Structure 1
Amino acid sequence: MTQTQQAPRVPVLDDELIVVRTPEEFHRAPRDYQKLLISQVMINSEGELSGGDDYTMVFLPLAPNAEERQVCAERAAEEYDHYKIGKKVLADIGIDTTYMETQRLEDRNLFADQGLHTCTTWAERGVFSYIGEESALLMIREFSQSSYKPWADAVRTIILDEKVHIAHGARVCRNLAVTEEGREQLQYALDRLWPTFIGVFGNPNSKKADLAIRYGLRQTTNAEARDEWIRIVSQRITNLGLRVPVTKES
């Protein structure tokens, strides 16, 4: 059944939990539920595809040696695999994402105007993974508890990979942080990329996020997720001898 076909449905009461186990059940879920789930998986899949491009097109050319090039290539392969996982979940409900694969990295909607894909230093590569990718892991952990079971099951395979991505970023950052020059490079990278990382969480007052929580597609609001990310990464930043950037409220 495609997205345009309308399946018969019975309204869900406000105090009811929703559990959707199959693509067929998805087409009988409330239309708001369908729209939110599609948007969530689309955004995540686009981010994973762009992440693979970041590792191959942006970070790999910055790598100082063959070992670090290999790490970037391995991480890219994992990101592309994560994209394919989301692609299949969407395909099963009638959504085709193959158009994304012919887009240029800078033309995709995700962070297109925020400068994420213009990293020019190895310090920014480290900060991207150690600090920035923690936001992705935080959200994927929420998705692993999704009321849409095919999505929850699919993303559980991604979590271990994302932990490895963060660990490699941590190694890059710690190696740089042992010198004053390295800490200066890291601080500059952190200050420049911080607004982009904050932007991952969207509008802190989003009504769509509230509705996603009601439907079991999320566990926290945008503001709660952002604040938890800041709590986690602030400890990492200070441990590196760096200053936590100021977060401007929307």
Structure 2
Amino acid sequence: MSISILDDEAVVVRTPEEFLAMPEEYREIAIRGMIVNTEGELSGGDDYIQVFLPLAPNAEERQVCAERAVEEYDHYKIGKAVLAGVGVDTSYMETQTLAERNLFAAQEFHTCTTWAERGIFSYIGEETAMVMISEFAQSSYKPWADAVRTIIQDEKVHIAHGARVCRGLAQTADGREELQQALDRLWPTFIRIFGSPRSERSRQAVRFGLRQTTNGQACDVWRAKVTPRIANLGLRLPE
């Protein structure tokens, strides 16, 4: 007999054993969210090594890219361990290329060709991950909440490095134009990361305490965070 979670119930799941005893609808939505995030962390490491490091203008910036990649791979391993606890093996991801993975975001993320796009990716784009990870840190599945809390500080550093790159470029008119072109090209991809604002899955995730906001609400939170940054750089918000 399968017993559903009632709409007015608070949900707390403390261990993998408790997780495996939860209704299928809870487990399916939780696993989907953890897989998407874990895959994104692995691809983030690949981005820093394969995409951004070759664009870096000097040894200092190459080192920064390498350091950020190490952190992203570590984040992947954290997610991998939590998923393994509930019987999900993500090892297959490690043999895939960026193009082969079933990525939640569009491939534009992984084809940056300018240093300005590297800056926008981190300063504006990685804030999408921060919005979601901050929600996961309050997840009703406690092992996942505890795991992602260790990731948040690293993600703040990633965003800060993107801010530094963007502020440096924004000092000149040519640099601001490069940033604007980067923002205009990547903006639709950032929006797509949040998924459909009409997603029933995201509403169920909120109901189960796996998230705090629906897709549309999370996108609004992100917009509110990045809009002042865009204005401060002297750029215009894409339509």
Give the TM bin, normalised by the shorter chain: over 0.9
Map 1:218-233 to 2 at 5 A. Answer: 218-233=211-226
Aligned to 1:57: 50
Map 1:155-166 to 2 at 5 A. Answer: 155-166=148-159
Aligned to 1:38: 31
Q: Does 2:193 match 1:200? A: yes
Deviation at 1:172, TM superposition (A): 0.1
TM-score (norm 2): 0.98
Aligned to 1:23: 16
Q: CA RMSD in A?
A: 1.1
Aligned to 2:84: 91
CA deviations 1:126-174 (Å, max 9, x no partner) are: 0000000001001000000000000000000000000000000000000
CA contact (8 A) 1:111 1:196 kept: no
The whole-number CA distance in structure 1 between the counterparts of 2:25 and 2:202 is 12
The whole-number CA distance in structure 2 between the counterparts of 1:19 and 1:31 is 15
Select which of 176, 183, 196 maps to 1:183: 176
CA contact (8 A) 2:122 2:163 kept: yes
The whole-number CA distance in structure 2 between the counterparts of 1:80 and 1:34 is 25
Deviation at 1:114, TM superposition (A): 3.5
**Residues 113 and 135 of structure 1: CA distance in aligned 2, closer, same or farther (over 3 Å):** closer
5+ long unaligned stretches in structure 2? none
CA contact (8 A) 1:238 1:244 kept: yes
Q: Which portions of structure 1, spanning 4 or more consecutive aligned residues, are displaced by more than 6 angstroms? A: none
CA contact (8 A) 1:174 1:240 kept: yes
Q: Does 2:170 match 1:172? A: no
**Does the residue aligned with 2:238 lie in a helix, a strand or coil?**
coil
The whole-number CA distance in structure 2 between the counterparts of 1:112 and 1:141 is 19
Aligned to 2:202: 209
5+ long unaligned stretches in structure 1? 1-7
CA deviations 1:95-129 (Å, max 9, x no partner) are: 00000000011111215744211100000000000
Deviation at 1:219, TM superposition (A): 0.3
**Does the residue aligned with 1:228 lie in a helix, a strand or coil?**
helix
CA contact (8 A) 1:147 1:217 kept: yes
Identity %: 70
Q: Does 2:74 match 1:74? A: no
Q: Does 2:161 match 1:142? A: no
Aligned to 2:112: 119
Letter in 1 for 2:12: V
The whole-number CA distance in structure 2 between the counterparts of 1:121 and 1:193 is 12
The whole-number CA distance in structure 1 between the counterparts of 2:233 and 2:5 is 49
Deviation at 1:13, TM superposition (A): 2.7
CA contact (8 A) 2:120 2:183 kept: yes
CA contact (8 A) 1:52 1:77 kept: yes
Deviation at 1:11, TM superposition (A): 3.9
**Does the residue aligned with 2:34 lie in a helix, a strand or coil?**
helix
